[in-house]
Chains A and B, each alone.
Chain A
């Protein structure tokens, strides 16, 4: 009789599967041991995370992943980009499929508190707005009563739109389309009177039609706050610190005037802030459990926040706006590195 054998094989398989279940250890150690950072990004959003013609990921969020990899490994290329849809992103982070999420995700109370994440900072300040065709002769969002509005589902955008309609007693017909390109195409084809998404997104959508950009108007109303930032799992403070300070280092570097091009030459500069930044003094890297040149590596390989912004976001036709440094009237502000 061979069913005892079968039974034994079954038991063995069961045991090996349960054995494979690792206790969820601290993310930092896991990343170190793996030698590569698993970073959850968008499946394709120009300027934030999208593959180029050669299949390399590029964007502001992608640079966030690269910065963390540079801090941990001293090599910005040690990132595994895991494209996630709006539905998958939270499960992916909760289940440990990704170590961090840099996926233009709005920091909200519920996500921070209920879903068990920690947002470690804000790498892009945004807000939801409307874009309409100039020919529609609309100058304020309040005139949109009866309009058809294109919106992407499954995001805060959809809910903000509904809330705003109710608060202002404006009736509208939503056209809800999953994929961003499809929503944009629907708007340009005239399927909708207005397109609503983050203002940065609107600007980039408008810029994508170079020839007819001035035929579209972004309305002055901004109906929501959309602070986008990287998120990690709740309770993993050490890894959260690393991601937080990788972001801060990029902002701080811009303030200090350090760029990927000049940081090499600033190594010997006497300015104590720069000395601390590049790891010549202060031992900050060790405190994070990293190499002391962690911040230097980020700037050398990825660049400061301004560089990343100019490289990825500016070509979309988006102004720095609130994402300027606080010294220039913006909101980008890093706590001091000391």
Chain B
């Protein structure tokens, strides 16, 4: 958009003053300098690696890792390779980031709305929350949450929260069922049901636009989302073997466990990011001209419909871009897991590089993983943003 150099009358010969020549020479010089620097660094590195007898390359990935990992989404034991250990780390990062993004969005929206509430105490508490959490380093907050969770009683004095749910400094244990193929089938059916009812709603909206009549979607939707998986589940024989946490030996066995490390990291990330998202939500709602509320009210829409149909779609345009960067921040901040012992990709790659001495490969792996995650989130949010963006005709 900005012209790079003043327009001059074009000359016949390509002199040094000609804009095109100049731009080419400049670029050549800049690229040359940077290329030279990079070459210099690479040459140094190669030399240093050789002199210091540091191995290079990714051959180590297939060696036995030998390192114990506390929690893994896939089967893992120290006999497995570094590659698998790192993959466990990536999955752990994705797990905390995905759950964190969902929870931070919910909490952030609630707090953002609470800041605009008419209840003085609620609004003030919400804004105190935002100020306090935004203005303290996340690392400090993580240490705080972790020490708080460690203050819970041990497994033998675990707090029973009723229904076989136990809270102790080993984490939260709750009962689950033994997961079989039938459960998987039912899950798939539920997803299919959700997709089908979304399609149904869309079709209903189209019909409404065309004819003015809106066909019923609630009942068919319910049947699709609840009935379909139930049908599949019972057809598969409805296996139901509860897996209840029991105190055996040192610890609870069975059930599903949320470790304190994961919980501390998740709580820290969610509460911290929610403070920023709350600000985005508040700014987004305030950015909608209140003439819009009035106009919607004049049309006879209820408060809820005003918010849902008129204000929120407009507010989202303001909210989404900064919230995208908060999602990215949350994902990147999950790397602080290394400080409180959650085995994410950074802590596992960190141990790997310490054991193999291959710093360059270790850091390259960390960076590649985060770049991939960041770019994927950016792409998805750009796509979503384009969908809600103002359609100018």
Chain A residues in 8 Å Cβ range of B53: 114-116
B29 contact set on A, CB distance < 8 A: 3, 6-7, 10
> Interface segment, B98-106, B201-209, B294-302, B340-348?
B340-348
Instruction: Verify if A36 is at the interface (C-beta below 8 Å from B).
Output: no
Say whether A222 faces chain B, with CB atoms less than 8 Å apart. Answer: no
Cβ-based interface call for B251 (8 A): yes
Contact yes or no, B248 A146, CB < 8 A: yes
Q: Which residues of B contact A176 (CB under 8 A)?
A: 68-70, 341, 343, 347, 351
Within 8 A of B (CB), among A121-165: 136, 144-148, 151, 153-154, 158-159, 161-163, 165
B113 on the A face (CB < 8 A): no
Contact A177 B248 (CB under 8 A): no
| Contact partners of B210 in chain A: CB under 8 A | none
B252-267 interface code vs A (CB 8 A; 1 in, 0 out)? 0100000011000000
A-side contacts of B357, CB under 8 Å: 90, 114-115
**The one of A3, A94, A116, A189 that contacts B169, using a Cβ cutoff of 8 Å:** A189
Q: CB of A311 within 8 A of chain B?
A: no
Judge whether A145 and B249 touch: CB under 8 Å.
Answer: yes
CA distance A173 to B76 in the complex (A): 12
Give the residues from 21 to 51 in chain B that come closer than 8 angstroms, CB to CB, to chain A.
25-26, 29, 33, 36-37, 40, 48
Q: Determine the distance from Cα of A10 to Cα of B70 in the docked complex, in whole angstroms.
A: 51
| Interfacial chain B residues near A161, Cβ < 8 Å | 68
In Å, the complex CA distance between A91 and B357 comes to: 9
Q: Interface code A158-195, partner B: CB below 8 Å = 1, 0 otherwise?
A: 11011101100000111111110010011001110100
Instruction: Count residues of B near A (Cβ-Cβ below 8 Å).
Output: 49
Q: A165-B68, A174-B69 given as contacts; is B36 within 8 A of A91 (CB)?
A: no
Q: Flag whether B94 is at the interface (Cβ < 8 A).
A: no
Return chain A residues, CB-CB under 8 Å to B17.
1
What is the predominant secondary structure among interface residues of chain A facing chain B?
A: mixed
Complex Cα spacing A201 to B33, Å: 52
Are A153 and B350 within 8 A (Cβ)?
A: yes
Which A-chain residue is minimally distant from B64 (CB atoms)?
Answer: A162
**CB of A86 within 8 Å of the partner chain:** yes
Interface hub of A86, A136, A177, A191 (most chain B Cβ within 10 A): A191
Chain B residue at smallest Cβ distance from A94? B52
Of chain B, the residue at the smallest CB distance from A115 is B357
Contact B354 A178 (CB under 8 A): no
Identify which of residues 151-195 in chain B touch chain A, using a CB-to-CB cut-off of 8 Å: 151, 153-154, 169-170
* Complex Cα gap A191–B262 (Å): 13
Whether B341 lies near A182 (C-beta < 8 A) is: yes
Q: Please report the C-alpha to C-alpha distance between residue A165 and residue B68 in the assembled complex, in whole angstroms.
A: 10
Interfacial chain A residues near B143, Cβ < 8 Å: 182
Of residues 68 to 92 in B, which have CB atoms within 8 Å of A's CB atoms? 68-70, 78-79
Interface check B338, CB cutoff 8 A = yes
| B339:A179 contact, CB within 8 angstroms | yes
Q: List 19 other contacts, CB 8 Å, given A114-B53, A182-B339.
A: A14-B37, A94-B52, A115-B52, A116-B52, A116-B53, A147-B250, A148-B170, A153-B351, A153-B354, A159-B66, A172-B68, A173-B70, A174-B70, A176-B341, A176-B347, A177-B341, A189-B147, A189-B151, A190-B150
Some 17 contacts from A to B, beta carbons below 8 A apart, are: A3-B29, A10-B29, A18-B40, A86-B354, A91-B359, A116-B53, A146-B250, A154-B351, A162-B78, A165-B68, A172-B68, A176-B70, A176-B343, A179-B339, A186-B341, A191-B150, A193-B251
Query: Hey, which bits of chain A sit against chain B, CB under 8 A?
Result: 1, 3, 6-7, 10, 14, 18, 86-87, 90-91, 94-95, 114-116, 136, 144-148, 151, 153-154, 158-159, 161-163, 165-166, 172-179, 182, 185-186, 189-191, 193
- In the A-B complex, the 7 residue pairs with the smallest Cβ-Cβ separation, listed nearest first, are A189-B150, A177-B341, A174-B68, A190-B154, A154-B354, A162-B78, A147-B250
